[in-house]
Amino acid sequence: MNRFAELLDRLAYEPGRNAKLRLITEYLRATPDPERGWALAALTGALSFKHAKAGMIRGLIAERTDPKLFALSYDYVGDLSETVALMWPADPTQKSRSAPTLSEVVQTLSTLGKAQLPAQIARWLDGLDETGRWALLKLVTGALRIGVSARLAKTAVAALGSRQSDEIEVLWPGLTPPYLDLFAWLEGRAEKPSTRDPAPFRPPMLAHAAEEPDLTALNAQDYLAEWKWDGIRVQASAGHDEHGDLVARLYSRTGEEISRSFPDLLAALRLPCAIDGELLIGEKIGPLVIEPAAGKSPGEVALHWPERRLLFIGDAVIGNPPGTCALLREKVMDDPARLRQSVRNLLELDFDTLLFGDGTPILTGARGRLAELVKTFPE
């Protein structure tokens, strides 16, 4: 556990991507199985513990410190794990005991009952130093926040065997912690793991910036062009398992499974396929018509209810001062000129009531108030 804690501590303070890669790869190379496998699972977000919750940690520290002091400290520090790690009144009699291994922690968190878990975590916290306590609590809560994405961790493990990260991405859905077969292959001790996952993630083709000299050397006949939509990059994958049942999943561009976020889209995947593209919002949600309001933030929209002459506008426009329409400061806008044009376009809609995400709603005469704002826009 101490070596894992040291790794997390160094990663948290290291800003450089290549340096983070080197730290992770060196740790994985020097750490035996299954410790390194559980560490990799933690870095990629593959660990979760049913009974280990942030509320339990708050309860433990509340029993040992002044509640007001903890509240003030938490407000100042801003991170639950760090606050508790620094404030924890460790029991000196526990220091003589050896710190648990990462494997012991993971197995205990996975198997211990809800009633017994708080006392066990308290014993661990008593026996660890501040950095160890911080790392343990990060592991328990599942919120590492050390600037390491799952993609970066997979790139680091690929370096063990001088492999490309895409090879790891293809295998990943079929692997389980602590990844003994993966490490054996990367170190030349076993064959490459096989995957029978019917809906695997496939590393996508990503756009790359091109300089002017590069563009002049390109032959347009060799390429296809596509529109740049304001959505999120999603890969939809579906296939039949060994029982003939259809398995469907949605992935982000980095291979994170996001199926639970879009259950309606997942239900629409009824044929074996692999679709890589931009996920966009539809045209209607019940009685609400979706209207583009780009410019404030990527993907910004307004919702129009024609029958009730009502417009929900988010914070593309704000209702402040009350009874008026205004824009936020330009420094928080994605594209000020584009936002002003979007607001002009909203005047083509029929509405009398305007509901803002920020400010006081205008319940009548709202279209006239919005028109007054548009008159102030530069031509």
Q: Is the pLDDT at 93 greater than 70, yes or no?
A: no
Q: Do domains 2-141 and 284-375 have the same CATH topology?
A: no
Q: What 8-state DSSP symbol labels residue 209?
A: -
The CATH superfamily of 2-141 is DNA ligase, ATP-dependent, N-terminal domain (1.10.3260.10)
Per the DSSP assignment, residues forming a β-bridge with 304 are 289, 311
The CATH superfamily of 284-375 is Ribonuclease Z/Hydroxyacylglutathione hydrolase-like (3.60.15.10)
Q: Is the pLDDT at 246 greater than 80, yes or no?
A: yes
Asked if residue 78 lies in contact with residue 87, where contact means CB atoms within 8 angstroms, the answer is no
Residue 229 is predicted with a pLDDT of 74
pLDDT band per the 50, 70, 90 thresholds, residue 98: low
pLDDT of 291-316, one tens digit each?
988 888 766 889 999 999 999 998 89
Residue 324 is predicted with a pLDDT of 93
Q: Which residues are CB-contacts of 38 (< 8 A; sequence separation ≥ 6)? A: 47, 102, 103, 106, 177, 178
Give Dmax (Cα) for the chain: 75
pLDDT of 308-341, one tens digit each?
999 999 889 999 889 999 998 887 888 899 999 9
pLDDT band per the 50, 70, 90 thresholds, residue 197: confident
Q: Is the pLDDT at 96 greater than 60, yes or no?
A: no
pLDDT of 134-175, one tens digit each?
999 999 888 788 989 888 999 999 999 999 988 898 888 788
**Burial bucket for residue 176 (CB in 10 Å: 0-12, 13-18, 19+):** exposed
pLDDT band per the 50, 70, 90 thresholds, residue 94: low
Q: Where are the domains of the chain?
A: 2-141, 228-278, 284-375
